[in-house]
Amino acid sequence: MSGLLAGLVAYLASFLTNATLYVLFVVGLNLQYGTTGLVNFGHVAFLAIGAYTAVLLGVHGVPILFATAAGVAVSAVFGVLLAFPALRLRDDYLAIVTIGFAEVLRTVVNNVQFTGGPQGIYGYAVPLRDLGLGYQAWQWLFLALVVALTALAFALTEYVVRSPYGRVLKAIREDQEVAVALGKNIVGYKVASFALGAGVAGLAGALLAYYYGAINPHNFEAIVTFEAWIIMVLGGTGRNWGAVLGALIYFGLYSATARYAMSGVGAIAADRLAALRIVAIGVLLVVLMIYRPQGILGRKEDLGLER
């Protein structure tokens, strides 16, 4: 295989893996906000919890399968612990509490010894690496694993959304007072939705840690949550297929401009051009909100835009 073709194959594997990991991450957020109406600006916290739980257990000899499952479970438990007090607040205060939780968690991880502090953790075992494959072959095999787990989470959340339970979640999103009048325990439904979304994010975090081969607190800054929101809004809030489309568009734009962002264009320095990429995505979102506020695949009735 020629050097150019090998580079393209490696790039494609990296692009698809990153995009799929973000699809998984956004699917959890979509369940919380798109289906239930819970404004979570600290979703990256559960990504970090899943990643660090899986990696720390793996470092201490726990098999990867069990370490990953523990990452999902611990993320879901933290989702419950955060949800019980936070979900009694209005949407704006809920947003503040969640983003505050994410920043407190990142600060703690950055300052305690057992997580490696700002240097993080590296050199841990990752799935499928013991098969003796070259790195490029492992990339594609790991991509297949990520796609399979994302498809499983996708199917699970689709089942939840389409079930009678999911219809209650949508009723809470639309008008929770009506749900209360019908005798529904809305706090219990909200906590379960928040925990399930957190667990999905924890799975994404564990897989992200395995793919990177090293993690540190800088991988879990607030911008990661806002990237997830961009992808969700771009593709269509409340639509899991919108997460797929949004991730492909978002990472496609970044990949298409990566070469120029590293080298600059004409008189525009590389750092300024990198910032302009964010501006371009912001302009795209503004235009989308004007002409199609429900997102590319979204439905107006899901957001109450026809009322």
Residue type, 235: G
In this predicted model, what pLDDT tens digit does every residue of 230-258 receive, in sequence order? Answer: 999 888 888 889 899 989 888 887 776 66
Three-state DSSP at 214 gives strand
225: its two tokens: 């949550």
C-alpha 278/C-alpha 284 separation (Å) is 10
Q: 133: which DSSP letter? A: -
Between the CA of residue 184 and those of 171, 201, 303, what are the distances in Å?
10, 27, 21
Least confident of 54-58, 278-282, 292-296: 278-282
Nearest CA among 31, 41, 166 for reference residue 91: 41
Q: pTM for this structure?
A: 0.89
d(CA 4, CA 15): 16
Highest mean pLDDT among 63-77, 175-189, 246-260 belongs to 63-77
